[in-house]
A and B are shown apart, each in its own frame.
Chain A
Amino acid sequence: MLTDIPEPSQTKMPRAQHTLRWRSRLWAVGGLVVVLAAAVALATSVGSADISFFTVWEILFSKLPFLNIDYKGDERIEDIILTIRLPRVVLAGLVGASLAVAGATYQGLFRNPLADPYLIGVSQGALLGAVIGFVIPGIGDNLTDFGVVPTLAFVGAMGAVITVYLIARSGKSLPVTTLILAGVALGAWLSAISHYLMLQSDDGKLHAIVSWMFGHIDDEWNQVLTVLPFALIGICIIWLYARPLNVMQLDEEQAQQLGINVERTKLILLACSTLITAVSVAFCGIIGFVGIIVPHAVRLIWGPDHRFLLPLSTLVGAIFLIMADTVVRTITDPESIPIGVITASVGAPFFLFLLWKKKRGTFF
């Protein structure tokens, strides 16, 4: 039908523009991958021990299979780089990526620029789980035990969101406004319980809980290996739903009329983004601002198309948190500034900047 119409004169124009924009975005992806690699190397070369940048690169490259570089230096240095610094950097990257993607997804799902991954109760649930892990005697004594606090935090986080989902769900549909309201209400209640429990605990435990709350990245490979599959699978699934997420920026009715299975899309995106957030929070506490700032920054520079927004947010999120963690490790020794403070210190001014820019047109 439409092909019966005679060829219009300007077929080239928007396609060319469009292709140009696509190409610049692809370049951006490539560029950011390089930046990420550089950030990893830079972060790994920073630490208490005085190890030269060159040595760090040598060690890192020697671990890559295809290059034939062999590191023949001090085994201790290799240990420091590979077993103390590198896992921490990798974890920071994974968590940063997860939080940024989850934030972008939540903003798209709720069509709200203020949404972040903690919107519907993940952080309050995780905090309660962690507090229980710290405070209840017998459970909490073994603070170095790998499983206790992270497991309880994860259970708390997922439990909170599942509860909110069950409350908000009506029949086959999931109205997002109800989701937010239920999340805020449940979150407030869980917070209250957590605070009460915190007040009951002694000073030492209280300090430990507050430290946990504000975020920290540990340097354990087994944490990395636990987070990795969740993050990888969750982020990939979310990427696959980029186009439906685009179409859902119209309202839900229009999206449905364009063939999108809105309810299924909502459910899958909600589940995946909550999962990767819960896993991140379980191990690293509640790191704020990454989930809300990174997607906005990416959107500001590269546009709202989720097919680029999501991968770019992943990369930028990873880079951001790696750099923030590097700051934590260099500025304070021993570390007394939680990473959440750094992300807030960068995030808040940037957010204000975005609002200032908003006066000159919307950014969402």
Chain B
Amino acid sequence: MKRFWLKTLVAVVLILALAPLGACDDNDADTTTPKNNLATDEAPDKSSLRIVSLAPSNTEVIFALGLGDNLVGVTEYCDYPPEAEEKAKIGGFSTVDMEKVIEVAPDLVVATSMHEESVTPELERRGLKVITLAPETLTEVLDGIIEVGAATGKEGVASELVAQMQEKINAVIEKVEPLLEGDKPGVMYVTWHDPIWTVGNSTLTHELIEIAGGENVFADGDGNMETDLETVVWRNPQVILASIGHGSAEDSPVTWANTEGRLSGLDALKDGRVYGIDANLVTRPGPRLVEGLQIVAEYLYPSVFVE
């Protein structure tokens, strides 16, 4: 008698456990017939390449290479170019909706260092090809673009894009060089104001500042770093670059830099050199970094760069 009930119980539990496997998913009304998942060493059919981007910076690179139409999945934060926002969303910054990724059946996934630990291995386990872009310097950004170009059959486009970017960078370096004889302006980049976050060395923003002929007053720090009001006052930057793109109007680094009474003694405030700058232009490791560099240079040496 007991054994009968035990067997019944086991049977019921098994049925309940296996039931979800039989349930049909009826969401694929509008997707085209997915291609077969390809093994990693088969060359993909380049024109119908399906790409998923796991970061806004990667999205920008992909669009810059003319592969916008091949993009089948982006993150919630991919906002440039505007067309990116219309693509299917497959996750946030470090969180990826695995189901959605599988649904859009990409041939290539472009990830970042944030995904290295868990997301990328998972994707590779499912047989997807993953490229990771984790540039820490401008040069590495350029290299990354080349890498994506190679993986997508757009080598030519990539080299040309990189060449253009390099040219603009060199132009800035050239103009700045004679000015380096004199005093370089001390610069502070304000990522956020409460608490105060800024950039130390080994960040892209720091590199842009240095290339543009400025001296990051927090160059001794490492990476993204927190600091306090006292240190800011003590280091007395001549130029403040406050990030735009976070917070509301009243609660932004720009407002803070302009209205915090205790900053009024800083050279930057006295000379009126507080500038807002789009955070995405100086922190996102993509083609627009060059634009960011040019803007920073303009702010630092207006007489030279603004004609």
Digit string of B261-288 for contact with A (CB within 8 Å is 1, else 0)?
Answer: 1100110000000000000000000000
Q: B248: CB under 8 A from chain A?
A: yes
Which of B229, B250, B266 has the most chain A CB within a 10 Å cutoff?
B229
B233 A76 Cβ-Cβ under 8 A: yes
Q: What is the CA–CA distance of A358 and B195 in the complex, to the nearest angstrom?
A: 44
Report the minimum CB–CB distance from B132 to chain A (whole Å): 25
A47 B230 Cβ-Cβ under 8 A: yes
Q: A142 to chain B: which residues have CB within 8 Å?
A: 248, 250-251
B227 A85 Cβ-Cβ under 8 A: no
Q: A83: CB under 8 A from chain B?
A: yes
Q: B250 to chain A: which residues have CB within 8 Å?
A: 142, 145
Q: B226: CB under 8 A from chain A?
A: yes
Q: A79: CB under 8 A from chain B?
A: yes
Q: B234: CB under 8 A from chain A?
A: yes
Please tell me which one of the listed residues A47, A75, A80, A334 contacts residue B227 in the complex, with CB atoms under 8 A apart: A334
Please tell me which one of the listed residues A49, A75, A83, A85 contacts residue B231 in the complex, with CB atoms under 8 A apart: A49
* Nearest residue, chain B, Cβ from A82: B262
Tell me which residues from 240 to 262 in chain B have a Cβ below 8 Å from any Cβ of chain A.
248, 250-251, 256, 261-262
Q: B228 to chain A: which residues have CB within 8 Å?
A: 48, 334-335
A143 B194 Cβ-Cβ under 8 A: yes
Q: What is the CA–CA distance of A229 and B299 in the complex, to the nearest angstrom?
A: 46
Q: A141: CB under 8 A from chain B?
A: yes
Q: A9: CB under 8 A from chain B?
A: no
Q: B57: CB under 8 A from chain A?
A: no
Q: What is the CA–CA distance of A143 and B246 in the complex, to the nearest angstrom?
A: 13
Q: What is the CA–CA distance of A50 and B229 in the complex, to the nearest angstrom?
A: 14
Digit string of A49-74 for contact with B (CB within 8 Å is 1, else 0)?
Answer: 11000000000000000000000000
Q: B238: CB under 8 A from chain A?
A: no
Tell me which residues from 75 to 105 in chain A have a Cβ below 8 Å from any Cβ of chain B.
75-76, 79-80, 83-85
B227 A49 Cβ-Cβ under 8 A: no
Q: A11: CB under 8 A from chain B?
A: no
Q: B266 to chain A: which residues have CB within 8 Å?
A: 76
* Nearest residue, chain A, Cβ from B248: A141
Report the minimum CB–CB distance from B228 to chain A (whole Å): 6
Kindly state the interface size class of chain B when it binds its partner.
20 to 34
Q: A362: CB under 8 A from chain B?
A: no
B194 A79 Cβ-Cβ under 8 A: no
Interface SS of chain A: helix, strand, loop or mixed?
A: loop
A141 B262 Cβ-Cβ under 8 A: no
Q: What is the CA–CA distance of A84 and B233 in the complex, to the nearest angstrom?
A: 10
* Nearest residue, chain A, Cβ from B255: A144
Q: B120: CB under 8 A from chain A?
A: no
Q: B236: CB under 8 A from chain A?
A: yes
Q: B229 to chain A: which residues have CB within 8 Å?
A: 84, 219
B251 A49 Cβ-Cβ under 8 A: no
Given known A-B contacts A48-B230, A143-B251, A144-B251, A76 and B256 have beta carbons under 8 A apart:
no
* Nearest residue, chain B, Cβ from A47: B230
Q: What is the CA–CA distance of A315 and B228 in the complex, to the nearest angstrom?
A: 29
Q: What is the CA–CA distance of A47 and B228 in the complex, to the nearest angstrom?
A: 10
B233 A80 Cβ-Cβ under 8 A: yes
Given known A-B contacts A79-B265, A83-B261, A142-B250, A49 and B233 have beta carbons under 8 A apart:
yes
Please tell me which one of the listed residues A47, A83, A334 contacts residue B262 in the complex, with CB atoms under 8 A apart: A83
Which of B194, B226, B233 has the most chain A CB within a 10 Å cutoff?
B233
Given known A-B contacts A75-B265, A144-B194, A334-B227, A48 and B251 have beta carbons under 8 A apart:
no
Report A's interface with B, CB cutoff 8 A: 47-50, 75-76, 79-80, 83-85, 141-145, 219, 334-335
Pull 15 A–B residue pairs with CB atoms less than 8 Å apart, ordered by A.
A47-B230, A48-B228, A48-B230, A75-B265, A76-B233, A76-B236, A79-B262, A79-B265, A83-B262, A84-B230, A85-B230, A144-B193, A145-B251, A334-B225, A334-B226
